[in-house]
Amino acid sequence: MTQYFIGVDVGTGSTRAGVFTENGNLLASAKRPITIWHEPGSIVEQSSEQIWKAVCGSVTEAIASAGIPATAVAGLGFDATCSLVAIKADGAPVAVGPSGDPDRNIIVWMDHRAAGEAAEINAGNHEVLRYVGGSISPEMETPKLLWLKRNLPQSFAATDHFFDLADYLTWRATGSLNRSICTVTCKWTYLAHEKRWDAEYFKAIGLEELAAEGFSRVGTDIVEPGTALANGLTEAAALDLGLPIGTSVGAALIDAHAGGVGTLGGDGADGGSRVQSRLAYVFGTSACSMASSDNPIFVGGVWGPYYSAMIPGLWVTEGGQSAAGAAIDHLVTMHPASAEARAKAEAEGLSLVAWLDRQATELCPDFARAVELAKSVHVVPEFLGNRSPHADPDARAVIAGIGLEAEIADLISLYIAGLCGIGYGLRQLLETLSKDGIEIGMIVASGGAAQSNLVRQLLADTTNTPVAIANTEEPVLLGAAMLGAVSAGRYASLLEAMKAMSSLSTIFSPAGGTIGTLHRNRYRAFELLQSADREIRKFAAAGA
């Protein structure tokens, strides 16, 4: 009997599900929106119950669209954003914010309410911080847990299980309390290479009760991604998802890491499949960059090294930016021509960014020359800080070269300059990795913001590194589906599934020549503006 595998991805604004064949072909996918609540104080929250319902709607629609019997689905895998979920033992949600609404029981990854707690933790120079680039981010879970304990002690005490969102989904599906090495190692300070939590760290930062409880509320059974969980789908979850009871479910991945698994392993245009020489670059709302190595390599300002957190047996070093696609979205709305452009975009059924991308493509069909459209405009798009390599959550965007022009042509210049800024940030990360011995020969790009050929060429030119594209429409969903294929026993390992279910297609090579020189000069301007922002903040702090 032919077997099929389902990948489920929970992003920041939607859930998606895809049905794949055993060789990685996508048969159908479906999508559901999810609500995000924003409040003053950098508070961003979601609902686990609403997300679960959206997941179920996505899965049932995808199966129906694929035209396959539900009984033919052999395995299911989940990935999700690294958001913190709080529930009681019976699954009842616990409020995590000032609203007091228990339905809002998720602190979203981009929530920076715990910036003060993160700074306080970093001042302690704890040994575990070596494995997060030397500095913990307010996006990670221990600062958020500390904030919750201090500001909502009743909620903290009432919570029986703190989950990363991906682990919540596998618990909801199977009842298993097992956590994925990916989530707890990358976001919770679990030391996977030593198979332990650091109790002294939790005691030192003020979360001593978690250590005293034997870490039962954050996870005691840690397993590799793709590990089959419990007895598969429970009766309740199977009914919700429209799948047979006992359908195999694999331990989950963070969404960006699922993108890495879905793109890095295939033979293809570069004539090989050695994942250690490739960088997985997932360009979505945020940007995540993941490099694999055989041995641990410590890079200042870059998260990791994390053992087995993406591919079992390999160390992963993770960089990126908190705002990438979101930074471009925000940037273009700031221009006076944005309202006029948005109206034109909506008339054609496009988003503003998609419309601008098409306009830029029509103006410059030679994608390598698109940088010339930026003219005098330079952008450091760090609206939500610098995640890496500077680990500077207080960094902010800098825009230079703007005049009084208010035409759509000038909005296009700003758009291209913003994209270049994203690329120069990636170039900065690649240079930092190289200094510490991680040499990247190819970027494998995925994510919603990387669907444009113009964007792909700009990434190649700004980083001076070839950019390859996976031969699938949905690489993140594919990575999640691979987890289901491994848990169901179709493939013996995640690496085997990666080689069998993925491949590369097009490569975008750096233009070089005068275009390469232009990018080198613009990159120098990028770093100058970036350093100017740091200096200005020093002046402001000194005068406070």
Tens of pLDDT, residues 521-542:
999 999 999 999 999 998 877 7
Closest CA to 275 of 422, 54, 416, 442: 442
Domain edges within the chain: 4-252, 263-322+438-476+494-508, 325-429+514-543
| CB contact set of 67 (below 8 Å; sequence gap of 6+) | 27, 28
Amino acid identity of 200? E
Amino acid of residue 83: S
- Across 469-494, average pLDDT: 94
- Residue 160 identity (one-letter amino acid): D
Helical H segments across 248-406, by residue range: 255-264, 325-333, 338-347, 352-363
Angle between helices 352-363 and 338-347 (to 10 degrees): 90
Six-digit token pair at 500? 């069998």
Measured distance CA(224)–CA(435) in Å, rounded = 30
Q: Which fold has domain 4-252?
A: Nucleotidyltransferase; domain 5 (3.30.420)
Q: Which CATH class is domain 325-429+514-543?
A: mainly alpha
Core vs surface per residue 30-55: b (16+ CB within 10 A) or e: bbbebeebeeeeebbbbbbbbbbebb
CB 324 within 8 A of CB 287: yes
CA dihedral of 365, 370, 376, 378, whole degrees rounded to 10: 150
| Residue 1: predicted pLDDT | 72
Per-residue pLDDT of 144-173, as tens digits, reads 999 999 999 999 999 999 999 999 999 999
Q: Please name the residue that has the structure tokens 């794949």.
A: 20
Instruction: Determine how many CB atoms are found less than 10 A away from the CB of residue 514.
Output: 11
**C-alpha dihedral over 225, 65, 81, 228, to 10 degrees?**
-20
> CA 322 from chain center: how many Å?
9
pLDDT, tens only, 13-58: 999 999 999 999 999 999 999 999 999 999 999 999 999 999 999 9
Among residues 394, 456, 417, the alpha carbon closest in space to that of 334 is found at 417
Q: Please, what sign has the CA dihedral across residues 36, 39, 44, 48?
A: negative
Architecture of domain 263-322+438-476+494-508: 2-Layer Sandwich (3.30)
User: Residue 517: CA atoms inside 13 Å, Cβ hemisphere, count?
Assistant: 2
Supply the pLDDT for residue 527. 96
Q: Provide the 3-class DSSP secondary structure of residue 160.
A: coil
If pLDDT is split at 50, 70 and 90, which confidence band does 185 have?
Answer: very high
Fold agreement (263-322+438-476+494-508, 325-429+514-543) = no
What number of CA atoms fall less than 13 Å from residue 18's CA on the CB side? 24
Q: Indicate the range of 232-246, 325-339, 383-397 predicted with least confidence.
A: 383-397
pLDDT band at residue 273, thresholds of 50, 70 and 90? very low
For residue 243 the two structure tokens come to 């799948």
The answer to whether the CB of 365 falls within 8 A of the CB of 504 is: no
Mean residue pLDDT across the chain:
94
**Residue 274 clears pLDDT 90, i.e. is over it:** no
Can you tell me the distance from the alpha carbon of 399 to that of 19, in angstroms, rounded to the nearest whole number?
A: 43
Q: What is the DSSP letter of 511?
A: -
Question: What pLDDT is recorded for position 541?
Answer: 73
Q: What is the phi/psi pair of residue 532, to 5°?
A: -65, -40
* Strand ranges of the sheet holding 504-508, from the earlier edge strand across to the other edge: 303-307, 315-321, 287-293, 278-283, 442-446, 467-470, 504-508
